[in-house]
Chains A and B, each alone.
Chain A
């Protein structure tokens, strides 16, 4: 059942359109990530759902309750939408203790004092914050503040929880731990969550589904595996993962495969939208899919090694192919000179 439904949402600041017709749903118990480069409208979409931005067209439903409808002039104010929102900066109220921060939403709902104490205590304990109840926000570490912000948003059981870049304020090491912890919490509590992020690794790890936004529109949506392994557009392919790009000319398209030709090389790949015989095309392959081969063979090309970088768990080699550069991972250093690279057909996409 859809907890959140957004239909054909348009939003603009002055003359500057930010959202240009976004449609999406969020089902119960599902984590959906809004992913995209800065300026793609992902945060604006989240804020529009929360009621902090006013769209000018389209509709938003939470459960079966319409909270925004441009044509019927319905706009339920943010305070009446009963959602939970975790801000990027956490936005904890500095003049309230951890307990009071979390309790505020319940007090606003006229929950009795003993009930407030019980529920806040439960919520804090679930997030391992029980011993910090009487502290003020400035006395907490970044990770603790994040958990307080989460407790504050969860304590009154909103049907949907909105997370705005929830991990971006943590330092790199803490972020990976928090990611695992947050995913576990969401699954355990069966939350329905909409999460904004610009970090594709975070989106892949955290979500059941990913919506990739580009310039105010949804470019592609699907499970993390679909988004990563079967991108439909060049933008999606390029945004997810680390990639090599090879511009060339499409010589032939046959049975879902395309032949891309460049200066001194010919490669077969999977034909994607837009690949047409006789036109310019772009080949794309993930870094980890290029194989350094022993010699000439099917779908291989020769390139000169320019330099190698040691990454700890592997090497990253940089090759020159005319004016193009190709990067590939390897598990050992390579000798200078010419090497053969294999680009497997299935992993080489031609757009």
Chain B
């Protein structure tokens, strides 16, 4: 029998590309990432050390801007408000999120399957839209306040106080805790709980003495995360804090824009540096805690199918708690927006049926800037999202299976934008376009929005990409190496085809967050770059409530379309 071995001589792999050329794409990727992340941030730091905006002819280097800000009592009250709200929402969100996670993961709560996506709604809808929803639903003349007044004589809630803001922020951030607590519970093997039950512990004892202590690291992590998100809060205090004049750090910075009558970039930069000085330690702390939580989860037992604990007579209590939360955090604001978009006006004595109108939508579609905003929002989510995922994938490949110094550099580069709120990154990119004249033509194009979005969501996107990459078994790539494939060809012909489903999922998730995004665009908003999120902030400032309601509803619909696709294709909404 003729054999392959004897019939033909061995063939060797042609080695055309030199080592230098093979490393070029990686070097370029890292260089571009570094430029996109570091240029805007260094510009903020530089600007904060000047005595005037960087384009002024007369300016000196010094700490004048900081001195001005620190002498301003408004700054200190904004700082205190930020800390109070962040602490308040942490206290509310963490226990609720933990209870929710335990009930959803471990008990026979009715209707769990369809409730899960509903729970995540507050994290997909723009905070700007949610806050606006609260105003029209539960503000002094909101739908529910009016109805409550007609029934009880007065509405038993006040939205615009610090407490009101902390409660609403807390309720709408429950999903952030839920996500981490429930995935910790998922990875916590059922065997440790079954061991406790066999040893004689009741289901309740199991929860208190085994399950919850074992996910304590995940709860601690999510507490720090929620506190961090509290410091970054922008849309909610902008909308709800305005009527009573409560400022937080981000809204204080936003109001500074017009405080002195002239562009006060140096003051804004100084506040921005103060915010980042608070968030960077929080981000580093989160990173440590997350690593810790993962370590904890993986050593504790084997994950497997667990039998649901019967809730018994606690079922109705659980239904009441979760139902109340769903009403407060999802149904009230969303129904508020939906109603407000279809009425001419609202207040005491207005009849819903008589006030019905489609004029709000006509007003939106008659105004070219609004139409452009919708079109741009769709475009930045679909085409822009695809390009963004491509960029994230390139960065992912630059560090994939490489444990050298450059990979660590990229790790930290990715982490940095995480610490900078979108509002500040948008501002920094505005400055980049003004500071480097060759980039000026891009300023009035949607590209400026896209690059800022891409940098803001870098850390989030990289987590999606790397979790896809980690699912590719090392051996599949090693097998390609041993048959003679270079690194570049392995990436293109083995790894990339294997992660294509993960990339599709990432694209859908990036679409949703790009539809939702609002704060990043605030300073980049210009004729030609309109997006719904930033447009809403600007319209809200102008008091155009009808149009805001209609645009908000359109925004929600866009997000829900993405959500529907994600659910249809079985995309995991969380990691």
Query: Which residues of A pack against B, CB within 8 Å?
Result: 50-52, 77-85, 87, 89, 91-95, 104-106, 108-111, 119, 122-123, 126, 152-159, 162, 188-191
* Cα-based distance from A81 to B476 in the complex (angstroms): 18
Q: Indicate if the CB atoms of B498 and A94 lie closer than 8 Å.
A: yes
Q: Indicate if the CB atoms of B483 and A87 lie closer than 8 Å.
A: no
Inter-chain contacts of A89 with B (CB < 8 A): 473, 475
Known: A80-B15, A105-B483, A109-B14. A91 touches B475 (CB 8 A): yes
Q: Can you list 8 A-B contacts (CB < 8 A)?
A: A78-B482, A79-B483, A79-B486, A82-B484, A91-B475, A126-B4, A156-B484, A157-B9
Interface of A is mostly: loop
Inter-chain contacts of B478 with A (CB < 8 A): 50, 52, 78, 85, 87, 91
Q: A80-B13, A92-B479 are in contact. List 20 more A-B contacts (CB 8 A).
A: A50-B482, A51-B481, A51-B482, A79-B13, A79-B480, A80-B484, A82-B13, A89-B475, A91-B478, A93-B494, A95-B497, A95-B498, A104-B483, A105-B484, A108-B485, A122-B7, A154-B5, A156-B10, A156-B484, A157-B8
* Cα-based distance from A159 to B5 in the complex (angstroms): 9
Known: A91-B473, A95-B497. A52 touches B489 (CB 8 A): no
B6 at the interface (CB under 8 A from A): yes
Of chain A, the residue at the smallest CB distance from B476 is A91
Q: Report B482-524 CB contacts with A as 1/0, cut-off 8 Å.
A: 1111100100011001100000000000000000000000000
Q: Indicate if the CB atoms of B3 and A188 lie closer than 8 Å.
A: yes
Inter-chain contacts of B486 with A (CB < 8 A): 79
* Cα-based distance from A80 to B19 in the complex (angstroms): 12
B353 at the interface (CB under 8 A from A): no
Q: Indicate if the CB atoms of A122 and B4 lie closer than 8 Å.
A: yes
B11 at the interface (CB under 8 A from A): yes
Q: Indicate if the CB atoms of A190 and B5 lie closer than 8 Å.
A: yes
Within the complex, which residue of B1, B9, B476, B482 is in contact with A83, where a contact is CB–CB below 8 Å? B482
Of chain B, the residue at the smallest CB distance from A89 is B475
Within the complex, which residue of A50, A81, A108, A191 is in contact with B5, where a contact is CB–CB below 8 Å? A191
Query: Which residues of B pack against A, CB within 8 Å?
Result: 1-15, 473, 475-476, 478-486, 489, 493-494, 497-498
Inter-chain contacts of B11 with A (CB < 8 A): 106, 109, 111, 156-157
Inter-chain contacts of A50 with B (CB < 8 A): 478, 482
How many Cβ-Cβ contacts under 8 Å join chain A to chain B? 111
Distance in Å: Cβ of B489 to nearest Cβ of chain A: 7
Within the complex, which residue of B2, B12, B479 is in contact with A91, where a contact is CB–CB below 8 Å? B479
Residue of B13, B483, B484 with highest tally of chain A CB at under 10 A: B483
Within the complex, which residue of B1, B7, B14, B476 is in contact with A110, where a contact is CB–CB below 8 Å? B14
Q: Indicate if the CB atoms of B482 and A93 lie closer than 8 Å.
A: no
Inter-chain contacts of A85 with B (CB < 8 A): 478-479, 482
Q: Indicate if the CB atoms of A78 and B481 lie closer than 8 Å.
A: yes
Inter-chain contacts of A123 with B (CB < 8 A): 4
Known: A52-B478, A82-B13. A153 touches B498 (CB 8 A): no
Q: Indicate if the CB atoms of B482 and A84 lie closer than 8 Å.
A: yes
Nearest 4 A-B pairs (CB), nearest first? Answer: A105-B483, A91-B475, A91-B479, A85-B482
Residue of A78, A79, A109, A188 with highest tally of chain B CB at under 10 A: A79
Known: A78-B478, A94-B498, A95-B497. A159 touches B4 (CB 8 A): no
Distance in Å: Cβ of A107 to nearest Cβ of chain B: 9
Q: Indicate if the CB atoms of B13 and A109 lie closer than 8 Å.
A: yes
Residue of A106, A109, A188, A191 with highest tally of chain B CB at under 10 A: A109
Distance in Å: Cβ of B476 to nearest Cβ of chain A: 5
Inter-chain contacts of A126 with B (CB < 8 A): 1, 3-4
* Cα-based distance from A62 to B345 in the complex (angstroms): 84
* Cα-based distance from A51 to B487 in the complex (angstroms): 14
Inter-chain contacts of A154 with B (CB < 8 A): 4-5
Distance in Å: Cβ of B479 to nearest Cβ of chain A: 4
Known: A89-B473, A93-B479, A105-B484. A189 touches B4 (CB 8 A): yes
Q: Indicate if the CB atoms of B483 and A152 lie closer than 8 Å.
A: yes
Inter-chain contacts of B14 with A (CB < 8 A): 109-110
Q: Indicate if the CB atoms of B8 and A188 lie closer than 8 Å.
A: no
Q: Indicate if the CB atoms of B6 and A190 lie closer than 8 Å.
A: yes
Inter-chain contacts of B475 with A (CB < 8 A): 87, 89, 91
* Cα-based distance from A190 to B475 in the complex (angstroms): 27
Distance in Å: Cβ of B94 to nearest Cβ of chain A: 38
Distance in Å: Cβ of B19 to nearest Cβ of chain A: 9
Of chain B, the residue at the smallest CB distance from A157 is B10
Distance in Å: Cβ of A343 to nearest Cβ of chain B: 46
Distance in Å: Cβ of A1 to nearest Cβ of chain B: 15
Q: Indicate if the CB atoms of A108 and B483 lie closer than 8 Å.
A: yes
Inter-chain contacts of B489 with A (CB < 8 A): 108
* Cα-based distance from A86 to B14 in the complex (angstroms): 22
Inter-chain contacts of B4 with A (CB < 8 A): 119, 122-123, 126, 154-155, 157, 189
Q: Indicate if the CB atoms of B13 and A158 lie closer than 8 Å.
A: no
Within the complex, which residue of B12, B473, B476, B494 is in contact with A82, where a contact is CB–CB below 8 Å? B12
* Cα-based distance from A123 to B2 in the complex (angstroms): 10
Distance in Å: Cβ of A315 to nearest Cβ of chain B: 39
Q: Indicate if the CB atoms of A188 and B12 lie closer than 8 Å.
A: no
Of chain B, the residue at the smallest CB distance from A88 is B475
* Cα-based distance from A350 to B144 in the complex (angstroms): 93
Inter-chain contacts of B484 with A (CB < 8 A): 79-80, 82, 105, 108-109, 156
Inter-chain contacts of A104 with B (CB < 8 A): 480, 483, 485, 493
Inter-chain contacts of A87 with B (CB < 8 A): 475, 478-479
Distance in Å: Cβ of B487 to nearest Cβ of chain A: 8
Inter-chain contacts of A189 with B (CB < 8 A): 3-6
* Cα-based distance from A286 to B482 in the complex (angstroms): 41
Known: A119-B4, A155-B4. A79 touches B479 (CB 8 A): no
Of chain A, the residue at the smallest CB distance from B479 is A91
Of chain B, the residue at the smallest CB distance from A81 is B482
Residue of B15, B475, B479 with highest tally of chain A CB at under 10 A: B479
* Cα-based distance from A106 to B3 in the complex (angstroms): 17
Of chain A, the residue at the smallest CB distance from B478 is A52
